[in-house]
């Protein structure tokens, strides 16, 4: 009998299925499972070095599963099964949390409507450091402002979705003021199209597909190039918004840069001045 059979797995497919099933559970669940499995194995097998092999292997497998939770790019290719373990999705965890959130009425404190209380729209960066820091640094509560996020807090095209969202905020959602708030230490600063496309190829995007896009007239190099100076980028974005043919002249558009650690704001453009741009 093989060590896999002694460990309770009859083949690589069964092993993979059991592994994925157990690793989907939360930390408390798999710790209990590991303890129970270890007790069963030590009871069934004679206490000698050879019989500990399946136990040790199983423990290693569980450690690998735990590492995957904390290391997003961790993977392991088992020589026994040729099965590659990849990072599991957060979807199940989020769905489970959401069910509890709704059942417990956690939504009650967030009641508001679709119109921002401060009549304010903010274009910000999608940086994870901004998730809670930005509203806190500005003194905003839920329902105070419309917040639009993208990479770099930029309007790269006057007829793109970001500009459309700002116009919808003004004409449909009673917004009367706009702020562009980028941040220092932004990932878009110095973004290189060549490096970006190399990473795309490493993720399986064929090079000929990029050539096809270029042949179709899409300037990938320009589209995937970031900025050198964040304050200059803010000025350019404010200018694009303010000068848009559908943006009312009475809507002030401000430009600021926030520190990603302290939350300190640096004013770049005061949209209330007559010569803001």
Terminal CA-to-CA distance of the chain, rounded, Å?
78
- Contact present, 83 and 12 (Cβ < 8 Å): yes
CA distance 169 to 146: 7
Classify residue 53 as exposed, middle or buried by CB count within 10 Å of its CB (0-12, 13-18, 19+): middle
The counts of H helices and E strands in the chain are 11, 7
- Contact present, 196 and 224 (Cβ < 8 Å): yes
- Contact present, 175 and 241 (Cβ < 8 Å): no
Closest CA to 183 of 121, 216, 225, 134: 134
User: Is 97 annotated among the ligand-binding residues?
Assistant: no
CA distance 148 to 14: 46
Please name the residue that has the structure tokens 């043919």. Answer: 245
- Contact present, 168 and 114 (Cβ < 8 Å): no
User: Is 29 annotated among the ligand-binding residues?
Assistant: no
Helix then strand then coil, % of the chain, to nearest 5? 45, 15, 40
Neighbours of 137 (CB within 10 A): 16
| Alpha carbon distances (Å) from 263 to 129, 145, 149, 181, 259 | 10, 18, 17, 11, 5
User: Is 125 annotated among the ligand-binding residues?
Assistant: yes
User: Is 211 annotated among the ligand-binding residues?
Assistant: no
Q: Which residues are documented as binding site for Zn(2+)?
A: 125, 127, 183, 186
Q: Which residues are documented as binding site?
A: 125, 127, 183, 186
């Amino acid at each position: 009998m093989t060590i896999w059979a002694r460990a309770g797995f009859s083949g690589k497919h069964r092993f993979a299925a059991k592994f994925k099933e157990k690793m989907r559970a939360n930390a408390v669940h798999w710790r209990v499972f590991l303890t129970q499995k270890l007790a069963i194995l030590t009871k069934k097998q004679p206490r000698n070095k050879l019989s500990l092999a399946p136990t040790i292997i199983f423990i290693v497998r569980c450690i690998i599963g735990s590492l995957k939770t904390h290391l997003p790019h961790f993977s392991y290719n088992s020589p026994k099964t040729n099965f590659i373990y990849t990072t599991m999705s957060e979807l199940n965890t989020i769905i489970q949390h959401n069910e509890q959130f709704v059942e417990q009425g956690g939504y009650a404190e967030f009641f508001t409507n679709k119109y921002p209380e401060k009549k304010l729209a903010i274009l910000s960066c999608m940086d994870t450091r901004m998730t809670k820091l930005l509203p806190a640094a500005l003194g905003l509560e839920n329902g105070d402002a419309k917040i639009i996020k993208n990479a770099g807090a930029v309007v790269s095209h006057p007829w793109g979705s970001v500009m459309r969202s700002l116009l919808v905020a003004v004409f449909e959602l009673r917004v009367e003021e706009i702020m562009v708030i980028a941040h220092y230490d932004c990932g878009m600063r110095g973004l290189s199209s060549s490096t970006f496309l190399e990473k795309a190829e490493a993720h399986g995007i064929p090079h000929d597909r990029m050539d096809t896009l270029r042949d179709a007239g899409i300037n990938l190099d320009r589209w995937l190039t970031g900025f050198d100076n964040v304050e200059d980028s803010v000025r350019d974005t404010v200018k694009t918004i303010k000068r848009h043919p559908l943006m009312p002249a009475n809507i002030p558009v401000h430009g600021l840069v926030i520190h990603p650690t302290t939350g300190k704001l640096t004013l770049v453009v005061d949209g209330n001045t007559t010569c803001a741009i």
